[in-house]
Each structure stands twice: as C-alpha cells, then as structure tokens.
Amino acid sequence: MGDSMSKRLKLVTASESEMEERSFSNPFPDWDQGVLPSSPSAANSSTGDLFDADGKITEAFQNKVQNKIKDLLQQMEEGLKTSDPHDFSTYTGWTGIALLYLQLHRVTADSSHLQRSLDYVKRTLRNLNGRKVTFLCGDAGPLAVAAVVHHRLKNQADSKEFLTKLLQLQRSVISPDSEIPDELLYGRAGYLYALLYVNKEIGPETVDEKIITNVVTAILESGKNLSREEKKTERCPLLYEWHKKQYVGAAHGLAGIYYMLMQPTAKVHSEILTELVRPSIDYVRHKKFRSGNYPSSLSNETDRLVHWCHGAPGVVHMLIMARKVFKDEKYLKDAAECGEVIWQRGLLRKGYGICHGTAGNGYAFLSLYKLTQEQKYLYRACKFAEWCLDYGKHGCRIPDRPYSLFEGMAGAIHFLSDLAQPEDSCFPAFEL
Ligand SMILES: [Zn+2]
C-alpha cells in the first residue's frame, strides 16, 4: 500500500509541477476577500485603487492603463519593423494590427488611428493568396477589415469592392465536397464570422441573409454527417473535427463553432438551436473537469490548458451565449465555474496575448461582467490587466510573433484598451 501510495504521490507531484509550469499562482487577493470600495479602509487596499464609490474604475487606474497603452504601442511599432512582411493574417500578421487600430479609433475617436489601420490593411491586400478563407488565418480577414476601414473613411466604392471579393470566397465554403474544416481558425465558422463582422460594422443587410444561411447550412450538414458517422446522433448531433481530432476549445473546436451558430445575427432557426445545437453544448458540458476547466479535445482527459484556444477561457463564451439564447441558469453556473478556474490558473507563462495568454483570459472576465454586471468580474479583469501592465517582467516565454494580435503585444493592448468601456468590450475576431 505504501508503495502504491508513494507512486500516487509522485504522480500528483508530477502533474502539479507541470501545472505550475503553465501558469503563475495568482498573487492577487480575490474579490470576496477584498475590501469593498465603500468601506473606510478601501483607500489602502488594491480594490480601493481600482474602483471609486460608484463601482466605476478609478481615473487613476484608467490613466495608468492609458499610459501603458502608449508605451506598448511604441514598442509594438518598433518591433513590427522586423516582422514578416508577407504575413497578412489577423492571427499573427498585419490585419491583426489593422484591427487593433480600428479598435483604438473606436475607443478614442482619434482619426490618426483610422489612418494607421488603413495603412496596415493596405499592405495585406497585395499578399492574399486564395488558400484559406477564414477571418483569422485566411483572405476573409483582410478583405472584411478593408471593407470596414473604407466604410469608416466613407470610401464606399472601395468598401464595396472588398466586400464583393469577400463574398466570392463563399463558393469554396459552401461546396459540400470541399475539404474545408468547420472550426474558427481555418474553417467555415471562421468565414461565417467574417460575414457577421461586416454586418455588424457596416450595416445589418450588408451581406445578404441568404448567403449567411448557406454558410450556416454547410456547417450544420458537416456536423450532422460526422455525428452520424461516429454514431453520436443522440448525444451530440453536431460533431466536428480538425486534423482528425474532436477539439473542444474556441480556436479549433466545438465551442467556437457552437458559439458562432448561436449568434443572433447568424439567424439559425430556433428549432435547430434547440434540437441540434443545445444537446451538443450539453454534451460538451459533460466533459467538464472537476476544476471547472474543459479538455482540449473529447478524447483528452488531462486538465492542463487554461487558454482561449484550449480550455475554459474559450468555452466560457459558448456558455455565456447559451445562457442568453436558452435562458437556462445551468449555463451561467458553468460559466461562473470557468471564471473560477481562469482566476486560479489564468495568469499564463506563455505570455500576455489573447490566444494563449493572460489578456485572452482577461476577456473571459469582461464577458462574464457584461452578462452578470457582477463587480467581482470587473475586478478580476482589472487584476489581469494590472498583470499586463508589467508586460515582460514575469519571465514569460516570448511568442514566435511577439507583436501580433493573437500571440503578442497587439492583443494585450487591445485588451487594455477595452477597459476604458468595459460594457462595450469585445474579444477581437471572435465576439460580435
Ligand atoms: Zn492559442
């Protein structure tokens, strides 16, 4: 017994040290233990620095964030000079930077940001290659962002031109014999996002409803087919895989696809939502770890990754949307559990980005805050932002594209800039 016990202990230690390698233990006092802003000792507590008596983020903290944004933008611009000139993607390339400047224009109304956005998106357009169709990694990203930037600049003819090119990509997306996957980074859901994005930014009728329906139908058919093949039509009527693996997370998996299908602007019929999407979401819910986290794929049973791309920080967005669509409190409960595990293990050693970094995990709190209006979540978002204010000082790994929107600095700046108006915050290339 002693032997098996020591073996078990060793196992525990091994997995714990592994865990430690992935995230920092959270040094911040939690909200429940924190001091409420209205109490007399508030001035001395970290909570007191963050919120004024009305529960709003204090001007002092907002100023700190604004100054850091300026500083990081300068570093980013310098660093981008040596970045891959041909990477046009939203994920790691120039479209991501154009999107960041669009965001800065939205929150500051400074027209120089819009001009910058145009400059960056222009460089992408000569590099498009027709190989991929998604917003994050394919041609749809640059084309959609170009259409939006030109629309904001009131260059309607140019905007139209890019829109037309965006819509030309639909053929390969809806063709039933195309090899295209369904997930967000490389698949149909990533094209669907591009269409919903231009409808949100330019106007609700910009992309014809019929086109959106065709893309949605292709996603549904693909999911039904795999579910049938895997004999899961009862338990999980919409099943998807990427590179032969049934991923769960937002980037490559079920959560990202269901999240897009539930968008009100995708106009998926309520019967389909109830009969196909909802049971599939419940199937994913049953894969939840005891910690509240989710596996990276259906066949994976190790509770390791707490990233937007794999784990609770991505799945939480699906749960929040499920709560809105199906009005069932169980989704909120699971989303709140995601919030707990992200708070515990969400300060990542991989860096400050949004795909698998601390800023992306901070967005989970902003989304929970938008849904619940609970101050606790705004507090947690601010604490993760505070962590990002010490950018580069924690000895994190440096990502391959250190200034990019999804891996690096641009993503952290995007997150910080969303603290100015937390109610309107929006995870780029994902939330709508
Ligand atoms: Zn990632």
Q: How far is the CA of 39 from the centre of ligand 1 (A)?
A: 40
Count Cβ neighbours within 10 Å for each residue of 56-85 and write b for 16 or more, e otherwise: ebbeebeebbbebbeebbeebeebbeebee
Summarised one tens digit per residue, pLDDT across range 307-332 is: 999 999 999 999 999 999 999 999 99
pLDDT of residue 36: 55
Q: Is the pLDDT assigned to residue 288 strictly greater than 60?
A: yes
pTM surpassing 0.75? yes
What is the C-alpha to C-alpha distance for residues 222 and 216, in angstroms, rounded to an integer?
10
For residue 173, which of 139, 122, 197, 124 has the smallest C-alpha distance?
139
47 pLDDT above the threshold of 80: no
pLDDT class for 127, splitting at 50, 70, 90?
confident
Tens digits of per-residue pLDDT, 225-276? 999 999 999 999 999 999 999 999 999 999 999 999 999 999 999 999 999 9
Task: Please give the backbone phi and psi of residue 52, each rounded to the nearest 5 degrees, phi first.
Answer: -90, -175
- 309 C-alpha to center of ligand 1: Å? 4
Annotated binding site for Zn(2+): 309, 355-356
Contact by Cβ (8 Å): 366, 377: yes
d(CA 17, ligand 1 centre) in Å: 21
Which own/partner pairs from 344-347 qualify as long-range (CB within 8 Å, at least 24 positions apart)? Answer: 344/26, 344/291, 345/19, 345/22, 345/23, 345/26, 345/291, 345/293, 345/306, 346/23, 346/26, 346/306, 346/313, 346/384, 347/23, 347/24, 347/26, 347/384, 347/387
**Position 151 confidence tier, pLDDT thresholds 50, 70, 90:** very high
Please give the pLDDT value at position 179.
87
Using the mean position of ligand 1's atoms as its centre, give its distance from the Cα of residue 324 in Å: 26
Q: Choose the weakest-confidence range: 35-44, 60-69, 105-114, 277-286.
A: 35-44
Nearest to 207 by CA among 218, 221, 196: 196
Distance, CA 306 to ligand 1 centroid (Å)? 10
Distant-in-sequence, close-in-space partners of 226: CB < 8 Å, separation ≥ 6: 239, 240, 241
- Look over the chain and give the mean of its residue pLDDT values, rounded to a whole number: 92
Q: Let me know if 214 is exposed, middle or buried by CB neighbors in 10 A (0-12, 13-18, 19+).
A: middle
